[in-house]
Structure formats: C-alpha cells, structure tokens
Amino acid sequence: MKIKGPGFPGPLPPQPAPRPGPLPWPPGTRLDARVTAARDGTLTLSIGGRTVQVELRDLSPPLAEALREAAGGTGRPFAAGDLLQVRAGRRAGRPALELVEHIPAPARLAAPALSEVLPRQGPLGPLLANLHALATSGPDRPSLPPPVRAAVERVLALLPRAPALRDPQVLARALARSGVFLEHGLQRLAAAADRDMHPQAVTARRETVETDLRLALERLAAALRQAAGRPAPAAPPPSGAPRPLPGGHLPASPAPARQPPGAAPDRQAAGGAPRPPLTPGPRAMPTVRGLENTQAVLGELLRQTEQATARIRTHQLTMAQEVPRPSWLLELPVRQPDGIDVFGLRIERDEPGQAGGRSGHAWRVKLRFELDALGPVEAHITLAGGAVSVHFGTGDEATGELFRHHLDALHRRLAEAGLAVGRLSCRCGLAPPAPGGDGPLLDDHA
C-alpha cells in the first residue's frame, strides 16, 4: 500500500518513491472508495479525499483475484469511476482491504439500461395538456376517481408558474425538483437521518423529495393502475439491473416497448443508444375530452404518465454517460394561464483551462422551447471569466427580428445584475454558430 500526497505547483527535484506503510484505518472500519485506476496489479483508490495505491498483497482474496483477472486481460471487473465499499482488516499479518460491495461506474451500466428505457419514453407535453384540461374544464369534464383526481392536482401544484421563475431561488428549486435528481435527494435524506442532523435540515431534505416531479408522476401512475384494475409493472431482474448510485442516475429500467409517437431520438449517445430530444416541441393539445368513458381516460393518462416517467429516467441515464465532462439534462414544465409549456435545458461546466484560455470554470447552458407566438427558440448562454454571452437562434425571421430589437435591453438587465456582458447575438436558424474569436463557447452536445 502506498499513499501519495497532494501535488505541488511548479517543477520539483526528483523524490524517492514513497515506502509502503500500514493502512491508516483501524481493522473493521468500513470505507467508501472510488476507483481512479486499475492496472499492473495495483488499484488506485480515492478514499475520503486521500489517494491510496493498493498492491495485490494488500488485498483480501476476492479483490486480489479480480485484480489479477483484470491485469491478465481475462476480464475487467474494475474500471475508473467504479465505487467500492471496503473493510479494513488484516491478511497474513499485514493490513488488507476486504471487498464488501462493488458498484460499477454509472457510465458502464447506463448504456444497456438506456437501450431498455428509451423505447418507453415519450414527451411530457401530451400528459401535461390532459392534466391541465382535466383541472380547468367545466362540468362536462371526464369524471375521475378521487385518488386519481388528488394525484393529478398534486402534479399540477408542483409545476412552477412563469412569473415566479424570475426569482433565482424559485428557479433553483424547480430545477432541483424536476425529477432527474430524485435518487440524489433520497440519498441526502438518508444521510441526514444517519448523521443525526438538525431536524430542520432533515425536514428541508424530506420536502425536496416529497415535491419531486418524478415521484409525483409515479404516484399518479400507481393511482391510475389501481383505478383501472391493472397490475403494477414487474420488478427488474436482480442480475444486471441498474441500481441507485450517488448522483441519482440509475433508476430501474422498464421492459422494452414500441417507440411511441413523437419520441424520435436526438442523436446517438455513448454505447450506441440514441438520446431523447431535448425538448418536445410545441404545446400539445389535450386528447381526453373526446374519449368515450372513464376507463378510456384512465388508460390514456396511464400510458402518457408511464411515457413521461420513462423520459425523465432516460435523461438520468443520458447524464450518467456524460463523461469525462458531466452535464445536467432536464425538462422544466412551466404553468401559464392558458396551459403548460415545457423548456428543455442542458447545463455543462468546463474545467479550468478549457474555456478558451480563460481562467476558472466556464458554465454553458442551452435552453430550448417553442411557444405559439414565437415558434422554436434556442438560447446558448456562456458564463466564463466573469462575463456572460448569449446567442439566440430562432426558427422564424420575425421572431429573430423581435429578439434583435431587445438585445440592448437584455444588455442593460445583465449589467444591472452585476454581470460583465460579452457578446449578444441572434440569428434565424437553430444550429449553433461556430465558436471563435471572443464569442461565446457554443459547441453544444445536445
């Protein structure tokens, strides 16, 4: 076992290799480790912020045999990004690590899970249009069982209203509760309980989970199945099935099904599985008003709810494949007086040195939406070096002219918010412009 200390800036004279020493944890201590490298009979682990190189002789037999297979080319049980739970102990009188649990890296599990869940996904728009119609129509609206009606109202109550999103804190909460971070919220809630945190902190984390959109949709699906007399979906097989991991990227995968209408993939993702479109397009029209009876309404709502939850899961699995540069991919439904619009977002962060020579991190956001009065619109936003740049792309020339007319007002608003303003532009066409010069970084991956 070798322990490497932190790096130092600038060149240093050659130093002797560190001598192996005892593992710095008492026997019986359980540790969470992340594999950063596995080669040449050695595992490099990150444990509690400490980088530890563990040799074969410092491993218990299950770990040692697996590592021998990896080094010999007969298998690859470990890879960078894998999570291990290990227990400190002794072997042949020496400190050793015993494997308790091995969780492959999210990207390794995401591709097969994505290929299963993708055919089940569909846009959120049709479901939200029907839920809005059921909540706002008059006496002739379809009759729903009380549990279903309550679940519908619960989903609608969680959707933010457009004026409220001008508040950054409201927007941040809406993004956190959009469904793609559900497992992460559950883990934070469990950690708060395990660490005996202050009751207010536990309550805040519980509220985040209870107001999560995907959880509300899954509860709506359960109420619809019960009302329609349909069985719950079968549990995923125990072997090879995705499992919850830190970051909340690996939900259970439903069985494959026929690709639903309107669910055309955007492009190929890692592992050969196509991605979902970033946004579902124009506002959908409700379809439940023309159905003959309550059972038909329940069946239509159940189909659309299952598609919507599968879509959120697809985004989670797509996020899990975004290596080495992670991104957040989600869709945000927004309530308007006359309906519900869906905004697609992709948020990325570049590491220092990747942002066109600028120092520090660079944040990039792609926003896509389609409103009746504007048509399809994309906004590419970059924050780098303390300066924000925005490029708009529109599908309609009149919309482009409208946006160009208000660029000066946008410049003033950004400056009033305390931001240095870089380049602001707008053109007709949804393809991102080629980055160059002092313009924004817009090489998008959505």
Q: Using only C-alpha atoms, what is the Rg of the chain?
A: 25
DSSP 8-class letter at 391: E
The domains located in the chain, with CATH, are 23-103 (2.40.50.140), 107-233+240-314 (no CATH), 351-446 (3.30.750)
Q: Is cis: bond before 324, omega within 30 of 0?
A: yes
Mean pLDDT in residue range 282-305: 89
Number of other CB atoms surrounding residue 240 within 10 Å: 10
Q: Which one has a higher pLDDT value, 299 or 187?
A: 299
* pLDDT-based confidence at residue 300 (cuts at 50, 70, 90): very high
DSSP string, 69-101: HHHHTS-----TT-EEEEEEEEETTEEEEEEEE
Mean pLDDT in residue range 82-89: 83
Percent of the chain with pLDDT over 70: 71
Most confident among 67-81, 104-118, 325-339 (mean pLDDT): 325-339
Q: Which one has a higher pLDDT value, 391 or 251?
A: 391
Tokens describing residue 97: 């690590």
Tokens describing residue 406: 């208000």
Mean pLDDT in residue range 217-221: 95
Q: What is the pLDDT of residue 234?
A: 63
What is the CB-side half-sphere exposure of residue 85 using CA atoms within 13 A? 7
Q: Which one has a higher pLDDT value, 102 or 128?
A: 128
DSSP string, 113-157: HHHHHGGG---SHHHHHHHHHHHH--TTSPP--HHHHHHHHHHHH
Mean pLDDT in residue range 111-139: 85
Of 237-246, 296-305, 327-336, the one with minimum mean pLDDT is 237-246
Q: What is the pLDDT of residue 105?
A: 64
Q: What is the pLDDT of residue 255?
A: 32
Q: What is the pLDDT of residue 66?
A: 73
Of 235-249, 306-320, 425-439, the one with minimum mean pLDDT is 235-249
* pLDDT-based confidence at residue 109 (cuts at 50, 70, 90): low
Q: What is the pLDDT of residue 237?
A: 44
Find out whether 254 and 307 touch, Cβ atoms under 8 Å: no
Contacts of 249 (CB under 8 A, 6+ apart): 106, 110, 183, 316, 317, 319, 320
Q: What is the pLDDT of residue 140?
A: 65
Q: What is the pLDDT of residue 245?
A: 33
Mean pLDDT in residue range 62-77: 65
* pLDDT-based confidence at residue 339 (cuts at 50, 70, 90): very high
Question: Mind listing the pLDDT tens digit for each residue in 6-17?
Answer: 333 333 344 443
Q: What residues pair up with 30 in beta bridges, in sequence order?
A: 87
Q: What is the pLDDT of residue 265?
A: 41
Question: What is the pTM (predicted TM-score) of this model?
Answer: 0.67
